[in-house]
Structure 1
Amino acid sequence: MTAEDGAASTESGDTKHDHRVTMMYHPSHHVLDLGDAERWFERVFGRTSTSIATVLGEAPAGSGRRNDYSTFTPISDVLFDTIDPQRYILGDVQRYPSVEQPHLKGFGWYVDGVADLYRELRSRGFRIVSQLDEVAEGDDPPTAGPMPLFFTVAEDAGLRYEFVPPIPFPLDPRVEPDWVLPAVSEDDPLGIECCSHHTVLTDRPERALRLFVEVLGGTVIHEGRDDVIGATSIYVHLADAVYELATPDEGTAAHLDWAASAPQDTYHAIAFKVVDLDRAERHLRAQGVGIATRTDDAVVTSPASSLGVPWRFVTALTPGDPRVH
Structure 2
Amino acid sequence: MRKQVQKTGDFGIGLMIHSVHMTDDVPALNKFYEEVFGGLVFMGVDEPNWLEVEDRWAGLIMISDLCIETMAPNVPVDPAKPVGKFYTKYGKHLHSVGYKVDDLVGLGNRLIEQGVYIGAPGGGKIQEMDPSTVYFYPSPRDMFGLMAELCAIDMPDDPRDLATWSSQMKMWEHGHPLTIKRLAYITLGVKDLDAAVDTYVNKIQAVPVSKGVDDEARARYEIVQLGDCLLQIAQPLEADGDLGRHVARWGNMIYGITFKVADLDSAESWLARKGVRTTRVRPTMLAADPEDCFGAPYFFTTESIDNDPYES
Is the TM-score greater than 0.5? yes
Q: Any idea what the Cα deviations from partners look like across 1:107-166, whole Å, max 9, x if unmatched?
A: 12111111000000000110101122201113426xxxx55211111221122221001x
State the partner residue of 2:17.
25
Report the Cα offset of residue 174 of structure 1. Answer: 1.8
Please tell me whether residue 252 in structure 1 is matched to residue 241 in structure 2.
Answer: yes
Residue pair 1:301, 1:311 contacting (<8 A) in 2 also: yes
Asked if the contact 2:223–2:231 (Cα under 8 Å) also holds between the matched residues in 1, the reply is: yes
* C-alpha spacing 1:49/1:256, structure 2 compared with 1 (3 Å): same
Which residues in structure 2 correspond to 1:1-325 (within 5 Å)? 3-8=3-8, 10=9, 17=10, 19-52=11-44, 69-86=57-74, 93=81, 95-97=83-85, 98-99=87-88, 101-140=91-130, 146-158=132-144, 159-165=146-152, 167-176=153-162, 179-180=165-166, 182-185=169-172, 186-248=174-236, 249-262=238-251, 265-324=252-311
SS of residue matched to 1:317:
coil
- Contact kept, 8 Å, 1:3 with 1:22, in 2: the verdict is no
CA–CA separation in structure 1 for the residues paired with 2:36 and 2:48: 28
Gaps spanning 5+ residues in structure 1: where? 11-16
Could you tell me the percent identity over the aligned residues? 23
More helix per residue: 1 or 2? 2
CA distance in 1, matches of 2:169, 2:243: 31
What count of residue pairs does the alignment treat as equivalent?
305
SS at 1:84's partner residue?
A: strand
Contact 1:213–1:220 (CA<8 Å) still a contact in 2? Answer: yes
In the TM superposition, what whole-angstrom CA distance separates every residue of 1:251-308 from its partner, at most 9, and x where no partner exists?
111111122222xx11111111111000000000111101134421000011111111
Residue 232 (structure 1) shift: 0.6
The 1-side partners of 2:82 and 2:217 are apart by: 34
Q: Does the CA-based 8 Å contact 1:268-1:310 persist in structure 2?
A: yes
- Normalising to structure 1: TM-score of the pair? 0.84
Distance 2:310 2:253 in 1: 25
- Which moved further from structure 2: 173-182 or 19-28? 173-182
| Displacement of 1:53 | 8.5
Cα deviation 1:220-254 (Å, max 9, x = unaligned): 11111123422110110223211110001211111
